[in-house]
Amino acid sequence: GAGVSQSPSNKVTEKGKDVELRCDPISGHTALYWYRQSLGQGLEFLIYFQGNSAPDKSGLPSDRFSAERTGGSVSTLTIQRTQQEDSAVYLCASAGGTGGYEKLFFGSGTQLSVL
Amino acid sequence: GESVGLHLPTLSVQEGDNSIINCAYSNSASDYFIWYKQESGKGPQFIIDIRSNMDKRQGQRVTVLLNKTVKHLSLQIAATQPGDSAVYFCAEISGNTPLVFGKGTRLSVIA
């Protein structure tokens, strides 16, 4: 498809387990973002990848959160030892190419529920 | 730190009326200011942007106004329709820094 794809769309896990969330950005987009959104709330910035530059990890809430982007394309957000407060929708977005870096294209998100 | 914020968390508008959603920003060095629309259960969608050297830009039924003197951004929606009901976020970006979102305003259109 032509859009940003995220998987899984829903993830239910037990407290203390690790989870991996995947994002397939739009081909050719060099910028990739992860955001977190709690119910009825705004978008909390987590991490930003831009080309070959070191990622901006300033939004990661704790060292339990990490992300990587392999080959400048697919990205994985990993949450270790999940806690109930990690429950939220995790949104991925990509930008760049001819669209400009201010025009982000979002996936539909992964709804994470930690029991 | 610098941030993007909003004046009104909720806005109810009669169908057919014009809507105005406001946003205050603090980073005067931002290159672009952008509006996104988020419908229930979906990711945000780009609506319109404006460069920092402009003060007005028009799209289809939407107009964005930028007042750099008072660091204020607004989104005007003409002839608001039920399909415009959503949460609207303003955002800003500067150079290679990550795009920063404001808190959002929920627009409810009354039929």
Could you tell me what percent of chain B has a pLDDT over 70? 93
Mean pLDDT of A4-19: 97
Contact A109 B103 (CB under 8 A): no
Q: Scanning every residue of chain B, which has its alpha carbon at the shortest distance from the alpha carbon of A41?
A: B103
Give the whole-angstrom CA distance, residue B68 versus residue A97: 28
pLDDT of B6 above 50 = no
> What integer best gives the mean pLDDT of chain B?
90
pLDDT of A10 above 90 = yes
Q: Which residues of A touch B34 (CB under 8 A)?
A: 102-103
Q: Are B5 and B24 in contact (CB under 8 A)?
A: yes
**B64-99: pLDDT as tens digits:** 999 999 999 999 999 999 999 999 999 999 887 888
What phi and psi values does residue B75 have, to the nearest 5 degrees? Answer: -120, 125
Least confident window among A78-82, B7-11, B12-16, B21-25:
B7-11
- Name beta bridge partners: A88: A112
Q: For residue A56, what is the DSSP state? A: B
Q: Scanning every residue of chain B, which has its alpha carbon at the shortest distance from the alpha carbon of A95?
A: B99
**A30-57: pLDDT as tens digits:** 999 999 998 878 899 999 999 889 999 9
Could you tell me what percent of chain A has a pLDDT over 70? 99
Q: How many CB atoms lie within 10 A of CB B56?
A: 11
- Of B42, B99, B103, nearest to A104 by CB-CB distance is B99
pLDDT of B3 above 90 = no
